[in-house]
Structure 1
Amino acid sequence: MALGLNVPEPEETCSDENCPFHGTLGVRGQTLEGEVASTDMDKTVIVEREYDVKVPKYNRLMKRRSRVPAHAPPCIDLQEGDTVRIAETRPLSKTKSHVVVEQLAEADVTTTAQAGGDD
C-alpha cells in the first residue's frame, strides 16, 4: 500500500486494521520525528520531541518539549528510547491522531541547528 511517504515497509506483517502498511489507515498532514518516551499502553506509544524557543527578553533559547500519543502497529517493534517518525492521520481515539510509520536508526536522524541570538 502506497503511503505517499518515502518510508520502507516493515518486514514483519500484521493484521491490525489501523496499520498504514497492512490495514486501511491512510496518512495525511505532517510527519514528525521524536523519541519514544513510553510504551506502557496497548498499541500506543508516547513520542517526545524537544525543541528550542527563543526568549526575546533574555536573547536566549529555552528548551521545550511536546509529548504526542501515537498508534504503534504490531509490525513495528518499539522500545523506549527508540527514535521514530510519526505521521498524522484521522483521529483514532480522543488523544491519538498520529501513527508510527518508521523506526529510525541513530545515523538517520536529522538534527537541525537553529540560529541562536547573535544579533
Structure 2
Amino acid sequence: MPTIILLVFSNLFMTIAWYWHLKGGMEKPLLLVIMISWGIAFIEYCLAVPANRIGFAHGWSAGQLKIAQEAIALIIFGGFMVTVLGEPLHWRHAAAFLCIMAAVAFLFVGRT
C-alpha cells in the first residue's frame, strides 16, 4: 500500500510539473516554466524513487511498478484535464483507461 500511495502523490506532482503552464502560464518565458517545472519534478522524484524501491523490495517486478504508475498517471491526468484544463472526457478516454487496466491485470495475474 505505501507503494501505491507514494505513486499517487508522485503522479500528482508529475502532472502538475508537466502541464500546469498550459492554463494561465503560456505568457511566461519558457526558461522560467522549465525551472519551475524542475522544482516541482524534484518533489515527484522524491516520492517516485522510494515508491519503486519499496514496491521492488516487496516483490513487485519493474514491469508491474511501471504499469501501475501508468495506470495511476492516467487517472490523475484525467482528473487534471477536466478540473484544471477544462477539457471534456470522451469515450476514447474510457477506452484508453480500460486498455491500461487490462495491461495491469496481465502483469499482476499469477503474481505470487
Query: Is the structural similarity TM-score above 0.5?
Result: no
Using CA pairs under 8 Å that are at least 6 residues apart, name the structure with larger relative contact order, 1 or 2: 2
More strand by share: 1
Q: Which has the higher helix share?
A: 2
Q: What TM bracket, shorter-length normalisation?
A: under 0.3
